[in-house]
Chain A
Amino acid sequence: MSNLQDQIAKMYQNADPDVREVVAAVIMAEQELIHLDRARGINERIDEVLDKVAKRSLKGTLSA
């Protein structure tokens, strides 16, 4: 299992680090919810990681 994830991870290792972090987090969330026909809560989890990475990359330009 981890081998398969490693193989996938290797395929996007050249992407921008922020994008890489988002992709890794989203794939992990999808993996956890794969047993559900409708991945309940996936939108919130994607938003959470996008928010975290975006705020970090904009640090210094935002007031709070």
Chain B
Amino acid sequence: MKLEHIELRNFRQYFGRHRLDFSQDENRNVTVIHGVNGAGKTSLFLALNWCLYGAGVESIGQIISKEAMLRAKPSETVETVVMTVFIHDGIRYHASRKLTGQKRPDNQIIDIPRDGEFVLSRVPMSGVAKKVDNPIGVMNMIMPSNVRTYFFFDGEKIDSFARPEKADEVRFAVFQVLNLSVLERAKNHLGLKADDLRRELKNISSGELERLLEKDVTMRENGKALTEKKEQLEQEIRAAQQHAAEVNQTLETYKEVEALQKQYNQYADEIGVREQEMVKLTERIRQMASSGYVSLYGDVIERALAVLEEKRRRGEIPSNVRQPLIEDLLSQHMCICGRPFSDHDDAYNHLVHMLKTAVPSNLEDDVLETNGRLRSLLERGPELQENLNSAMTDKAELQDFLTSLYARQDDIKRQMKDAPQTEISALARQRDRYNSDIDSYKGEVVRCDLEIEENNTVIRGLEKEIAAAKKTDERAQLLDRKLKLAQDATYVVSEVYEKFAENKRLEIEQRTREIFQHLAWKSEHFQDVCLTSDYQLEVIDRYGSPARPELSAGERQVLSLSFITAMADVAQREAPLVMDTPFGRLSSAHREAITASLPHLAPQLVLLVTDEELRDQALENLSPRIGNQYRLNFDPKSSCTTIEEL
């Protein structure tokens, strides 16, 4: 981040609009803003912090120019606006923050909440500005709000890093500026996420899919065995039928029973044909019974038609005259019988009334269709009943006929089994056994079919259960993969965090040591500076003893400044150093050393100083590096400050 300029409107004592440009020249990277105590240095410093981070201001009453408020009429709205323009990673940004208030009759001011209080836009040198959707997030990417306090600071308050009791602040600063906090939080949040995923995975993993798949295999093997058994039975049937046919052929060769056998064969053929007829007739009866049952409810249909008729009579549903027809008649002024009529005569009024009571044509269609279907069912009822009765009679007759055929065939069988010729008798008995086997096999085939159907039903159910379990299993797979990613990412972040933290601690320690040695006038007395593994910032004197408790206020300030600039340097953050009253407590030796070094320690330096802070050698040291210089002039007569460019 490199500051380009800041613009204030009605901010504290800066009544009206004021602008201040920051020097961006690499060789003249210092902007000095002079001002006596109370001239407005701290207000300007606050304006920059408030604009970029909203820091320290809750309501417009805290920052509104009193002059602006005085001049406003009751109920008039007033605005406080600060805009900062800066460049980061080659992109120019406009950041502006605004508060709007309204003056009340009692001269108090109340806030008017508005959206877009903070607006950040990317502004190319040529082209159109584009508003950033997530301004706070982007500002945190550029410079997090909790990091900025190490770059924009009050010089008189920065000595806290050097106080023995402030080790936590040192650690906090290192973590913020070096992104270690980001890594630490990433590590913790990833770890928590991994815990969540582990719990979730445990809850859904039950081995259900494995169990179902095993059952599926068993059921399919069972089905295969049943099919094989059925095929075997059918083979047995075919073989028995073949044997029976051979017996029949042999029996026909015996003159004693030739006639009987022929009769037997005729009955067998007749039985075959009639049994087929019986199957077809039974199917026909089943279809009639299932498709025409509605027609058997004649009373119900008649009641439904009566309800429709009653509703039509009351005008709740349309008559048979359709809406479009009435409209046509009205437009042509012609009755359906051909007689003309005029507006507002009886015929006209009657048609208008019919049109008003008519309902939408789609409802008309539905009602007419329902009516037609009900009437059709009512008409078909007796016909269906008659057909069904006739088919049942046919079936009974066919059953009687078959029974007589079976009896006659049995009679022949008995005659042949009782034949005096033993060969004939034996053959007839053998044929009976074959037929008996065939019946038995057929029974088993029927049982097989039932078992196969039951087995298939179970398999179809299993398929559904397996599909559902697979979904759960896929969820488990996904959770497992997510868990592994979360765990691995946690390990990676932890490792990076450990190494990075240690490397950076050592780098900061080294750089702080170098800068402190350069800035402190007692550099020979202070032999070393350490940043311990628990982030204690320590100065070691020539006796090898910790010297921090003995440091003067100025020396603490120098140590803190060394630490801050070392952090900024190690972090390689492209960030300006903005210091309010930086040299107030420093003696001339420190002041001179710092002014000689500071412009080299930051890419951009903004100093808000009193004349007493920056004079003599210190001013001379800094002069070659000063790009822009301003003076803040406070006018006691108007209580307002103006910015004067020097």
Chain A residue at minimum C-beta to C-beta distance from B182: A30
Nearest CB in chain A: distance from B172 CB, A: 12
- B572–A35 CB distance below 8 A: no
Residues from chain B with a CB closer than 8 A to the CB of A31 are 140-141, 144, 179, 182
Q: How far is the CB of A6 from chain B (nearest CB, A)?
A: 9
**A51 CB to nearest chain B CB (Å):** 7
Distance of B140 from chain A, by nearest CB (Å): 5
What does DSSP make chain A's interface, helix, strand, loop or mixed? Answer: helix
Docked CA distance A64–B136 (Å): 37
Cβ–Cβ contact A63 & B478, under 8 A: no
Q: Say how far A32's CB is from chain B's closest CB, in angstroms.
A: 4
Instruction: Write the A18-31 contact mask toward B (1 if CB under 8 angstroms, else 0).
Output: 11101100111011
Main SS of chain B's interface residues?
A: helix
| Inter-chain contacts of B307 with A (CB < 8 A) | none
Q: In the complex the two chains form, what is the Cα distance from A46 to B143 in whole Å?
A: 22
Once the chains are docked, how many angstroms separate the CA of A2 from the CA of B572?
9
Chain A residues whose C-beta falls within 8 Å of the C-beta of B485 in the assembled complex? 18-19, 22, 50, 53-54
User: What count of chain B residues pass the 8 Å CB interface test?
Assistant: 49
Stretch in B392-400, B404-412, B492-500 with 4+ CB within 8 Å of A? B492-500
Q: Is the CB of A43 within 8 A of B192?
A: yes
Interface positions of B from 371 to 395, Cβ below 8 Å from A: none
* Residue numbers in B under 8 Å from A1 (CB-CB): 1, 88-89, 141-143, 573-575
Other-chain residue from A16, A27, A32, A47 in contact with B193 (beta carbon distance below 8 A): A47
Complex contact B181–A34 (CB within 8 A): yes
Chain A residues positioned under 8 Å from B572 (CB to CB): 3-4, 7
**In the assembled complex, which residues on chain A have CB atoms less than 8 Å from the CB atom of B143?**
1
CB within 8 Å of B: which A36-54 residues: 39, 42-43, 46-47, 50-51, 53-54
Chain B's closest residue to A2 (CB) is: B89
How far does the Cβ of B406 sit from chain A's closest Cβ, in whole Å?
58
Bound-state CA distance A7–B570 (Å) is 11
How many contacting A-B pairs (Cβ < 8 A)? 128
Instruction: Indicate the member of B138, B185, B470, B489 with the most A CB atoms within 10 Å.
Output: B489
Chain B residue numbers with a CB within 8 Å of A28 are 141
- Asked if B607 lies at the interface with its beta carbon under 8 angstroms from chain A, I say no
Across-interface contacts of B277 in A (CB, < 8 A) = none
Q: Which of A8, A32, A47, A55 interacts with B496 by CB under 8 Å?
A: A8
A22 contact set on B, CB distance < 8 A: 485-486, 488-489
B189 within 8 A of A: yes
Q: Bound state CA distance, A26 and B477, in angstroms?
A: 22
Q: Is residue B474 within 8 Å, beta carbon to beta carbon, of the partner chain?
A: yes
Residues of A within 8 A of B134 (CB): 32
Instruction: Tell me how far the C-beta of A53 lies from the nearest C-beta in chain B, rounded to whole angstroms.
Output: 6
- Given that A1-B143, A27-B183, A54-B481 are known contacts, is A15 also in contact with B492, CB under 8 Å in the complex? yes
Q: Chain A: which residue is nearest B484 at the CB level? A: A54
Whether A54 touches B474, Cβ cut-off 8 Å, given contacts A1-B143, A22-B489, A34-B144, is no
The answer to whether A26 and B190 touch (CB under 8 A), given A16-B488, A31-B182, A63-B474, is: yes
With A1-B143, A12-B495, A31-B179 given, can you name 10 additional A-B contacts, CB distance below 8 Å?
A: A2-B89, A18-B485, A23-B489, A35-B146, A43-B189, A46-B193, A47-B482, A51-B478, A54-B485, A63-B470
Kindly list the 3 A-B residue pairs having the minimum CB-CB distance in the complex, ordered from nearest.
Answer: A32-B137, A3-B572, A54-B481
A contact residues vs B (CB 8 Å cutoff) = 1-5, 7-8, 11-12, 15-16, 18-20, 22-23, 26-28, 30-35, 39, 42-43, 46-47, 50-51, 53-55, 57-58, 61-63
